[in-house]
Chains A and B, each alone.
Chain A
Amino acid sequence: MKDTIITIKRKKTELYTLVAAVIVAYGLNIYSIAAYDTPWRELYTEIPWVLLWGIGIYILWTILRICFCGIVSLFKRK
């Protein structure tokens, strides 16, 4: 096992990705309020769910990225 270094660039990328995921989740919240004709107060009452969805989207996105990187690295080795 060896030491690994998380670069500042990586940290920033992950942070931006997480923020983007939360923004997407918030966008979904706005969409659902309009689509299901529910009260606009859900813009703030649903914030806990928005954060949860944001984390979920971030995790999903991360899994997709890991899979993509894995496949790319496999092709590079060949």
Chain B
Amino acid sequence: MEQKPISRRTFLKDMCLVAGSTMLASSPWFSAFAEEKNTSGEKARIAVIGPGSRGRYHMKNLAANPKVEIVAICDDYQPSIDEALKIAPKAKVYKDYRKMLEDKNIQGVVVATPLHEHRRMVIDSFDAGKHVLCEKSITKTLEDTLAVYKAHKACDRVLYIGQQRLFDPRYIKAIEMIESGVFGPIEGIKTFWHRNNDWRRPVPSPELERKINWRLYEDYSLGMMTELACHQVQVGSWALKLLPNTIMGSGSITFWNDGREVYDNVSVLYVYDNGLKMSFDSIISSKFYGLEEQIMGNKGTVEPEKGKYYFESVPPASGMMQMMNDIEKSVFGAIPFAGPSWVPETANVNKGEYLIGEKPTEDGSSIMMDAFVESVITGYQPPKLVEEGYYATTLSILGHQAMKEQRIITYPDEYKIDYLNHKAPAAETV
């Protein structure tokens, strides 16, 4: 059955933000919208640190929200500043984020810089009394990620992590269906993100190589793990309500031998205590299979990226169709040049059903930004949001570590926090 695409507003309206909603149970961060009507006359004054391509994407979503005033941007790369000012012409421009944070007018900060900058920028923002949306991954080391988490827990400021799948209507519907049990027990998750490009951006002069193509160098990023896997492994904890304790993997540079330091071909396996497994594969020199998270249950499989689900048992074709098929086979079956069948196949092809609409028009980013704006206005921290982001980051980092050290890694106790099946070490509980 085909359905029409669903708009963000329609979806939010249909989500029935009322007590007892199953949607809120599976995606509690949507409680950020609880006061949406009461905040209609208010403005959130937001600044953006790092208005590069992703930062400007967020700025466009912010600019489309009537409750937002983009009051400042901060960058030290003039082309990014020039582009950002086209979106927010009245924004004050800073080169030093610490100067920007002194501006009492700013309520919330979006951090969209390379990963190695996140820790100090997020913590300094908290110290300056700002609410923060930090792009994923939170940082590129376990230590820094835990430091950000603890800093957040120690203050009363809001923290969002840029895991937009948490706000994507397709994923929300998929998780709701998983929790309802229609797919039976989930038996495994296969995630993959394949591309066929070098992941490079044009560099105007050689000295800017690392500044612009920071994703390719280990001082700034862990490559596909922190940039791609981070999105997908987060779906595992959301869908399974479990965190893995064993991580193994293999990574290599097989195609893009262009001086980069991060792998272009990775395969990581996360093993849960109950034996379930979640895999992440990425090859950026072959894109046929694209990206997907295949969440496989005993009764059905859901592919939220595609926006479809498939039940294991497909209803058979009607008796008439089967009879026609048998007659055709008995008459033409032995003729090798008969060509394609002129009657429908005996078994129905499992084309699946759409979760919410044929063409996804929303990847969750704009809803996430709207939720952040609501939180900046109300000061409300939605539950579980930071924890989901924390584990998405740490699992990505550990996946990289497993590949780098070529060994099976057990999730280190010192970096566990109280979430799902993980417990923070007693002395370290925050």
Please give, as numbers and ranges, the residues of chain A lying within 8 Å of B316 by CB-CB distance. 36, 38
Dominant secondary structure at the A interface: helix
Give per-residue flags for B312-346: 1 if the beta carbon is below 8 A from chain A beta carbons, else 0.
00001011111100000000000000000000000
* Chain A residues, CB < 8 A from B318: 32, 38, 42, 45-46, 49
Assembled-state Cα–Cα distance A49/B318 (Å) = 10
- Interface residues of chain A, those whose CB is within 8 Å of chain B, are 28-29, 31-36, 38, 42, 45-46, 49-50, 53
Cβ distance A49 to chain B, nearest Cβ, rounded Å: 5
Which single residue of chain A is at the shortest CB-CB distance from B321?
A49
CA distance A46 to B320 in the complex (A): 8
Tally of chain B residues near chain A (CB < 8 A): 7
How near does chain A come to B229, taking the closest CB pair, in angstroms?
45
> Inside 8 A of B321's CB, which chain A residues have their CB?
49
Shortest Cβ-Cβ A-B pairs, 8 listed: A32-B319, A38-B319, A32-B323, A36-B319, A33-B319, A36-B322, A49-B320, A46-B320
B342 CB, nearest partner CB in chain A, Å: 13
Segment 27-74 of B: residues with Cβ below 8 Å from A: none
**B319 contacts across to A, CB distance below 8 A:** 29, 32-36, 38, 42, 46
Give the docked Cα–Cα distance between A18 and B322 (Å): 24
Distance of B325 from chain A, by nearest CB (Å): 10
Interface core residue of B316, B322, B323 (most chain A CB under 10 Å):
B323
CA distance A53 to B316 in the complex (A): 20
B320 to chain A, nearest CB (A): 5
User: Would you give the shortest CB distance from B225 to chain A, in whole angstroms?
Assistant: 50
Q: How far is the CB of A12 from chain B (nearest CB, A)?
A: 29
Q: Which residues of A contact B322 (CB under 8 A)?
A: 32, 36, 38
| Complexed CA–CA distance, A13 and B321 (Å) | 30
Q: List 10 A-B contacts (CB under 8 A).
A: A28-B323, A32-B322, A32-B323, A35-B323, A36-B316, A38-B322, A42-B318, A46-B318, A49-B321, A50-B320
Chain B residues whose C-beta falls within 8 Å of the C-beta of A50 in the assembled complex: 320
Bound CA span A50–B321, Å: 11
Q: Interface code B292-325, partner A: CB below 8 Å = 1, 0 otherwise?
A: 0000000000000000000000001011111100
Taken together as a complex, chains A and B put the C-alpha atoms of A32 and B319 apart, in Å, by: 5
New A-B pairs, 13, CB < 8 Å, besides A34-B319, A35-B319: A28-B320, A31-B323, A32-B319, A32-B323, A35-B323, A36-B316, A36-B319, A36-B323, A38-B316, A42-B318, A42-B319, A45-B318, A46-B320
